[in-house]
Amino acid sequence: MIEMPLSPVDVEFVTGLHGDDPVSFVVLMQPRGSKDRLLRAIDDIALGELEQAVQEREEPEGKEALEPAERALAHSVAALRAAGAEARGQVVQRHPLDALRGVVEEAHADEVIVLTAPHFVEEFFHRDWASRARHKVGVPVLKLFSHAADEEQPTKRG
Q: Summarize the confidence of residues 139-155 as an average pLDDT.
A: 66
What is the reported pLDDT for 29? 92
Please give the average per-residue pLDDT across 9-37, as a whole number: 84
Does pLDDT of 35 surpass 60? no
Alpha-carbon torsion 94, 74, 43, 55, what sign? negative
Q: Are 50 and 44 within 8 A, CB to CB?
A: yes
pLDDT of 156: 36
pLDDT for res 57: 56
Q: Is 29 exposed, middle or buried (0-12, 13-18, 19+ CB in 10 A)?
A: buried
The model's pTM is: 0.74
